Amino acid sequence: MKIRSCSFEVAAYRPQDYPRAPGPDVVFMGRSNVGKSSMINRLLGAKGLARTSSQPGRTQSVNFYRVNDCCWFVDLPGYGYAKAPEEVRRSWKPMVEGFLDARRERIALALLVVDARHDASPLDKTMLEWLEDKEIPFVIAATKSDKLSGNGRARAAAQLRRELGDDLLLVSAQSGLGTKDIWSRLDRCLAGARESKKDQSWTSKN
């Protein structure tokens, strides 16, 4: 998909705040500080659109970005940030699970973002189970792979595939590695959403 426009729409804390306008969702979920917001910026070619930070816990709401007036990129708050205030930790689960339940039918693809340099965490595995249970289409995006050498990348991918399953792409928001692979998957999933005509907002220009 050629990006003609993208903009921040809303930071939602409750389902009532989600955008009402139709269009499929592309969802980014994963550990705090893993690089979800950076991946959104890289895929959209829009530096600084989603706010990023070297401090974990930057994204604490469900943030919607409107892309080409036809689909939504959704940045979910990260998990596993031990120093998050108690209130933030308590609100995370209902916020994310509430989102997945409310928008399940709309989700064209969820990207479960993990750090290519580390083993999957128990919370990553829990997320995977949620996605499988709710029958949400997903792919694992192992990011920050620019920090690994060629051999290291192959080893890391093999290890993560053992832990999380075969459907894994090595990517980097910094170097752009794997961006094309993600886009070809996304294009297929968005075309599938359009074909299923679940969503009437699609027009031939998209």
- Residue 152 CB, nearest distance to Mg ion (Å)? 25
Looking at this protein, which amino acid is placed at residue 17?
D
From ligand GTP, Mg ion, none, interface partner of 63 (C-beta below 5 to 8 A by class): none
Given candidates 37, 46, 62, 170, which one binds ligand GTP under the rule CB under 6 A?
37
Contacted entry of ligand GTP, Mg ion, none for residue 32, CB cut-off 5 to 8 Å set by kind: ligand GTP
CB 19 within 8 Å of CB 96: no
In the complex, minimum distance from the CB of residue 88 to Mg ion, in angstroms, rounded to a whole number: 13
The single residue among 24, 49, 59, 76 that binds Mg ion, judged by CB under 5 A, is 59
Sole window of 15-23, 50-58, 127-135, 184-192 interacting with ligand GTP (rule: CB under 6 A): 50-58
The H or E element spanning position 51 is none
Whole-angstrom distance, CA of residue 125 vs CA of residue 84: 21
User: Cβ 22 to Mg ion, closest distance in Å?
Assistant: 25
Question: Which amino acid, residue 186?
Answer: L
Give the number of other CB atoms < 10 A from CB of residue 64.
21
Residue number, 59 or 143, with CB nearest to Mg ion? 59
Q: Which CA distances in Å does 129 have to 30, 32, 33?
A: 13, 18, 21
Q: State the burial class of residue 162 (Cβ atoms within 10 Å of its Cβ: 0-12, 13-18, 19+).
A: exposed
Q: 140 to 169, contacts with ligand GTP by CB under 6 A?
A: 143-144, 146-147
The two beta strands, 25-30 and 71-75, are: parallel
Looking at the Cβ atoms of 23 and 172, the one nearer to ligand GTP is 172
If binding is defined by CB under 5 A, does position 63 make contact with Mg ion?
no
Nearest CA-CA partner of 78 in 36, 134, 17, 128 = 36
Residue 34 makes contact with ligand GTP by CB under 6 A: yes
| List of residues contacting ligand GTP (CB under 6 A) | 32-38, 52-54, 56-59, 78, 143-144, 146-147, 172-174
